[in-house]
């Protein structure tokens, strides 16, 4: 199925999510952006620019919330599903954190804490 976006026929696009600031790369129209959604809102771009120079994490978080609210208002994204990672770890394996936002496992930190 094809959708007409800004006068362009494009196939539907699937994207995944992590808690890094993916919106900068997906929804802006800068030369280095991969704006496959063709989303264009100068107010959104302005909010992302402000977030990049925010003096502290709290201010940046507030600005990102405003940008996300604008995306939601414009219906620029429609979340279809959220990826879930499930794994089983033997009780004798230690050093596994399981909280990496990009779902990476640093195997250098794993060790056997007790023999089986």
Q: What is the mean pLDDT of the chain?
A: 75
pLDDT value of position 49: 86
Q: Cα-flanking dihedrals φ and ψ of residue 13, to 5°?
A: -120, 130
To which residue do tokens 């990009």 refer?
102
**Residue 1: band (very low, low, confident or very high) from pLDDT cuts 50, 70, 90:** very low
Neighbours of 63 (CB within 10 A): 19
pTM: 0.48
Q: For residue range 19-61, list pLDDT tens digits in order.
A: 555 556 566 655 555 666 677 888 988 898 898 899 998 999 9
Indicate the DSSP class of residue 55: S
């Amino acid at each position: 199925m094809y959708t007409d976006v800004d006068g362009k026929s494009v196939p539907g696009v699937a994207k995944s999510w992590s808690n890094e600031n993916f919106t900068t790369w997906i929804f802006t129209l800068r030369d280095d952006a991969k704006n496959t959604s063709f989303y264009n809102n100068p107010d959104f771009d302005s909010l992302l620019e402000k977030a990049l120079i925010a003096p502290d994490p709290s201010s940046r978080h507030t600005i990102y919330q405003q940008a996300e609210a604008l995306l939601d208002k414009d219906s620029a994204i429609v979340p279809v599903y959220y990826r879930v990672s499930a794994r089983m770890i033997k009780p004798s394996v230690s050093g596994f954190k399981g909280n990496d936002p990009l779902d990476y496992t640093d195997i250098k930190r794993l060790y056997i804490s007790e023999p089986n």
